[in-house]
Amino acid sequence: MLLEKIRDNRIERSTQGGGLGGRSMVDLFAGCGGLSLGFEHAGFVPVFVNELNHDARSTYLANRKHLIDGIPFNERRELHSADVTELDEERLTELKAHLTSLNIGLDFAKAQNLDVLAGGPPCQGYSGIGHRRAYSVDKADIPSNRLYERMAFVIEQLRPRVFLFENVKGLLSARWTSEGKKGEIWDDVYGRFKRLGSEHGYVVRWKLVYAKDYGVPQNRPRVLIVGFRKDFADKVAKHLNLDNGSEDAVLANMLPAYGETPPDLEEIFADLEDKNITQRLVSRDFSEGLVTHSYPRAASGKWQEYFRPGELSEAFAELEEQEVSKHSDKVVRKFQAMIASGGEIPEEFRTKKFAQRLLPRQWKNQGPTITACSLADDYVHYSQPRSLTVREWARLQTFPDTYKFLGKRTTGGIRRAGNPREGIFEREVPKYTQIGNAVPVKLAEAIGQHFDRLLDKAGY
């Protein structure tokens, strides 16, 4: 399979005279690994990961067996972290010494040659959906909303050539308190990273980007802050545009302007459609579960071939995570009516809950208009009366089908949302939520390729 071949090649290179076989990266708040995977596709290799949630961290590690000085990364516990607040100066000093001692080409004493540090601190408190589910608690009282400070501290200690901060669009307008000023959280967050420029020698810019511009079948706006260490920025100065007075990271060429054209949904879902599922939903035939165990047809087109590398491209190859929810009869009839009407929900099926949306087969002129979050039942399949499967959800985020997800399939209520009003901040992170929280792989890949090209021009 493609990902295994990539890793095997890196392992082979890393065992021939040492080294990683790729550029080094650290991933903080890594979730299930979408950002790392995109960077891996661009030639980067994770050397340290941080993720608080057990299931998301387990998913991340299950997919990363590349060798670090002869030992698989997922077995090197000293290179994994759960609570980012434990990464104090002492722990980071130990980490730098340990990474420098390994035969992977890193040197934190003289060369300071860690290539990239990236991370997306938890965003539930900044997003519109997160705000609806945060009860009446001010964002200033939610501990995770301050973790950008910890990320900036780790950057100060590890001094990567490049850093990347990722978060939701809602960050730009969020208030610390209900009486606060619109955008005050963004002012504090961006101000903290700008201080890395004035106090620690980084050139810092930011940009609101849209995942659909980078080959992702979603609109999915994301705020990105990027920093180049000054010695690196000086080496590639002729390739940057830093003197125009703008904070725009794309205009500065510190981020890529665009990537691939996004696929239509029928391009990425058609090979997963089991024609028996609709009949079984309507007849209430759940005797064997609503699981499709093998691909109904061979991969067709570049996108299905991307999702199904190697032997998975064949018809009837083993298919994982294609389990359909056992919707009630009323829900199935509602979804059938939506498909028949082109998306309109008949009056008899309307509820106070924000309405599901029927997905289109093709985006047409406007391009992708959705953002996949943590709830699969937000959307209805374009031709079958059901919500999306885990595998389809993962394809929306451009994860190849070779990627494994660990943990529960889904969960609900307080277990997923927590209750900040009662001081309950911990959340279960089942597969749907892990995927919905991830950085889209193709977005990360485009950014990683851009960084790789500039690092190459700098002679690194």
Q: How far apart are CA 206 and CA 255, in angstroms?
A: 9
* Residue ranges of the chain whose pLDDT lies below 70: 1-18, 123-145, 353-354, 411-427
pLDDT by residue (tens digit) across 100-150? Answer: 999 999 999 999 999 999 999 986 656 554 444 444 555 555 556 689 999
Phi, psi of 82 (to 5 degrees): -95, -70
Say what the pLDDT of residue 1 is.
Answer: 42
**Residue 32 falls in the annotated catalytic set:** no
The answer to whether 158 touches 92, Cβ cutoff 8 Å, is yes
The answer to whether 211 touches 222, Cβ cutoff 8 Å, is yes
Say what the pLDDT of residue 365 is.
Answer: 87
Q: What is the CATH number of domain 265-437?
A: 3.90.120
Of the candidates 270, 277, 278, 275, the residue with the CA atom closest to the CA atom of residue 291 = 277
Q: Where in the chain is the domain with CATH 3.40.50.150?
A: 2-261+440-457
pLDDT by residue (tens digit) across 201-250? Answer: 999 999 999 999 999 999 999 999 999 999 999 999 999 999 989 999 99
Strands 357-358 and 379-380: parallel
Q: How far apart are CA 169 and CA 152, in angstroms?
A: 20
Of the candidates 215, 122, 139, the residue with the CA atom closest to the CA atom of residue 444 = 215
Q: pTM for this one?
A: 0.91
Q: Where in the chain is the domain with CATH 3.90.120?
A: 265-437
The answer to whether 196 touches 202, Cβ cutoff 8 Å, is yes
Residue from 123, 158, 396, 406 carrying the catalytic annotation: 123
Phi, psi of 264 (to 5 degrees): -75, 160
Of the candidates 255, 168, 159, the residue with the CA atom closest to the CA atom of residue 206 = 255
CATH top-level class of 2-261+440-457: alpha beta
Burial 332-353 (b: 16+ CB within 10 A, else e): bbbbbebbeeeeebeeeeeeee
In the chain, % of residues over pLDDT 70:
87
Write the CA distances from 241 to 133, 195, 251, 460, integer angstroms: 41, 20, 7, 21
